[in-house]
Amino acid sequence: MSYLLRHVVSPCLLIGLLASSSAWAATYTDTSHQFSFNVPACWKVRPGVLEGKQVLRVIPPKADQRERAAIEVYVLTRKQNRRETPDHWSRQLRKADGDREAASVLKLSARPARLVAEYREGRIVASGLWIVRHNLQVLLPGNGKHMLEARCAANASEFKTYRRQMESVCLSVNWLHP
């Protein structure tokens, strides 16, 4: 019994504890757009296009995370409109809009200007099934010309399971030179 504890159970427990920590995360830096964010262990960063905009997709390692949980994580920079501020976005997200519920969490910080929002939205998927998605969105204005945006979403029933990994990406997004 003591052999099992020392040589099998203890090493497995140690590996499990280490794997669950953020120590295994890496930092991804986009030098051309001047931002960075953390990437959970084994997740991959791939360029992509979403609604006509260049994005960085952060892809989970397991097929069930991509399919059943429908995890979508992406980071992008885009031009910032003059009126588009975290306060403006906060006012918009406080109210329900179409299939989006009013935000359940809104955290607005002044320095650096940052909005963190959580909300749920519904959508009909290809089979005609109504799916509720839980979203975590982070917005950071840049130098007055660009906005940095991170979105993490999963099916609402699965969001809690993958929350930590998605938060490690979205909440770590930052400009290199604020």
Task: Give the pLDDT score at 98.
Answer: 92
Beta strands in 14-129, from DSSP E residues, in sequence order: 26-30, 35-39, 44-50, 53-59, 72-79, 105-109, 114-124
Q: Which tokens belong to 51?
A: 């609604």
Task: Give the pLDDT score at 21.
Answer: 43
Task: Give the pLDDT score at 58.
Answer: 93
Distance between CA 5 and CA 76 in Å, rounded? 47
Instruction: Going from the first residue of the chain to its last (178 residues), give the mean pLDDT of each consecutive group of 10, the final group possibly shorter.
Output: 44 40 75 93 92 90 83 91 84 93 90 89 84 93 87 92 94 88
Task: Give the pLDDT score at 5.
Answer: 39
- Amino acid, single-letter form, for residue 11: P
- Enter the CATH code of domain 23-175: 3.40.1000.10
Task: Give the pLDDT score at 15.
Answer: 39
pTM recorded for the entire structure: 0.80
